[in-house]
Every structure is written in structure tokens, then in C-alpha cells.
Amino acid sequence: MTKPIKQAATPLAPRKSPTQARSVATVEAILQAAAHILETEGLSACSTNAVARKAGVSIGSLYQYFPSKDAISRALILEQTTALVEDAGKIDLEQGGRKALEDLIDIAITHQLKRPALAKILDAEELRLPVAADLKRQSTRLRKTVHDILSQADMPDGANDADVMADLMGIIKGLVDAAGARAGSDSPASAANLRKRVRRAVFGYLDAGGMNFHTDSGRLS
């Protein structure tokens, strides 16, 4: 008798996790197929049937792992976010905070512009879908990396304050996401120009004359 498929805890959670090489390959094929459809045909074309056909698997096999189209989007968001956070975690802090912060900016730009059409759609899906809880662990890891960078000796006093960290992460994400949403922003020239603009905004904020970061009050003055 066939065992029933374990139901997902939430509509977006995987029905089950792949444990063997074959099932891992199946899940990866599904995610790559979905990513390809999203970036070439758009969100409306990315149905579960279309993904299954593109991946070369049966719709039944797809539903063994993903209960819905939104569940596939969730998995892609988690995959992309995890890759970015892991790359950020490899930044060498011994080179100093300023160079490490430049590296963080480069990583953010590289991830966004590697597949800009896909990134644009997943950014919108992240806002639409209830994935905040899923991303909490990765967000915590990224905040720790940023905190460690801003705690280096060559950073302004209080740069690792929570408000300052949030501002800087917002500046980087806002500029990079906006650039990724514009056509043609994946060209090398555009990437280099974006790097200059983001660095100017980030270090202009940090080095602004007369700005003091108060770690005791947790506020800017």
C-alpha cells in the first residue's frame, strides 16, 4: 500500500524534503525549470504544469515536493537568499571594515545582476508571500555579518548601532534592487556604475561631517 504524502504544515512549506540523490536532483530540476520560466516568460507563465514539463517530471512528482506554485517561489527565494548570506559570511574581516563593506556591496550587486529578471520577480514575490518567518534565520545571519563589519576599528564610533545598520542595509538593498529592476542593468558597465553609486551612498552616510553615532542611546544625533 502506498504511503500517504505528508501534508505541508503551511500552504507554502514543502510536502517533504528530498533525502536521496535522485530526489535531490528532481527538486533541483524543478527549481531550475521554474527559474528559467520566470525570467524568460514571467510569473503568469510559471504554472505547476509548465514547470513540470520544463523539468521533465510528472506533475505528480512535482506535487510530492511542492503543494503549489507559490511554494516553488518560496523555495527559490530561500535558495537565492541563502546563497547571498553564505557569500557574505565568507568576507574576510581582517582586511578592515571599509574593504569588507565594499565586498558586501559587491556581493549584493553580483547576486542581483547575475539573473536580474529572476531577481526582480523574486523581490516582488518576497513582498507578496508570507515568507518573513522563513527568512528570519538568514536575516539574522546577515545582520550579524553586517554588525561584525561595522564593528571593525576603521569604522566610525557607533557604526554598529542597530539604527545605523538598518539604514545601511536599507541603502544597499534599495539601490541594488532598484537598479536590478531597470532594463539593461546587468551589463558590466552598468554594474561598475552601480558599484560606484552604492559605495558613494554608503560611505557618504558613514563619513558625513558632523554625524555622530551614539551607541549608548541607540540613536543618531
pLDDT tens, 168-188? 999 999 999 999 888 554 466
pLDDT at residue 105 tops 50: yes
Ranked by mean pLDDT, which of 16-20, 123-127, 213-217 comes out on top? 123-127
Residue bearing the bigger pLDDT, 180 or 103: 103
Q: Are 165 and 150 in contact (CB under 8 A)?
A: yes
> Which domains are delineated in the chain?
1-67 (1.10.10.60), 76-220 (1.10.357)
**By the 8 A CB rule, do 84 and 139 touch?**
no
According to DSSP H, which parts of the chain are helical? 21-41, 48-55, 59-65, 69-89, 97-114, 116-128, 132-150, 162-180, 188-207
- Say if residue 209's pLDDT is above 60: no
What pLDDT digit, counting tens, does each position of 36-86 carry? 999 999 999 999 999 999 999 999 999 999 999 999 999 999 999 999 999
Mean pLDDT of all residues in 137-148: 97
pLDDT in the model for residue 93: 98
Q: Which three cell numbers stand for residue 27?
A: 527538486
Q: What is the dihedral of CA 52, 56, 58, 64, to 10 degrees?
A: -70
Instruction: Give helix 116-128 / helix 97-114 axis angle, nearest 10°.
Output: 100
